[in-house]
Amino acid sequence: MRRSILLLTLGILCTFFVVAAISVYIFHDIDREMVGHLNEAFTGLCAEGILFTLIISAPVWLLTFLGRHLFHLTGYSPRAKLSLLLGIGITAFQYPWEYLARLAIPRLVDSALSSYLIISIILCTVILLRDNLREKKLCEEPKGSSV
């Protein structure tokens, strides 16, 4: 379990740094007062990325931990590769979500981002718990049966 959450966290953080670099240095998607100060804009995005990582990883860890105990899945762990891909996926999808929200509903961008955080926490938790359940079923499957 620890390895899965650690890889989720690393996937989120590393992907956020790559997306932030692309956003600032290639697309120049920065605030107007930061024009000409790309390094400062990138530093601000990196701090935001660390906060984003903590906001996602901590609740996912807590909800997955509680869910594993609730559904009696404590002896089984989600696959680490799945956790890494989840971290990469939710971070890579966050920038297009924010960009489209700024275009479609500029007044409600903060609400769109808040809803994205909640949706991604719930989605990651459900996927990790489902993978735990799958691992449990695979381990409890009788040896003579064929799937």
Instruction: Look at residue 111 and tell me whether its pLDDT is greater than 90.
Output: yes
Q: Do 11 and 84 contact (CB within 8 A), yes or no? A: yes
Residue 147 lies in a domain: no
Q: What's the CA gap between 133 and 129, in Å, rounded?
A: 6
Residue 118 lies in a domain: yes
Structure tokens at 13: 């953080």
3-state secondary structure of 51: helix
Instruction: Look at residue 36 and tell me whether its pLDDT is greater than 90.
Output: no
Q: Which range of residues forms the domain containing residue 93? A: 2-139
Residue 61 lies in a domain: yes
Q: Which residue has the tokens 């009788």?
A: 142
Q: What's the CA gap between 137 and 82, in Å, rounded?
A: 17
Phi first, then psi: give them for residue 75, nearest 5 degrees. -85, 0
User: What pLDDT score does 136 carry?
Assistant: 85
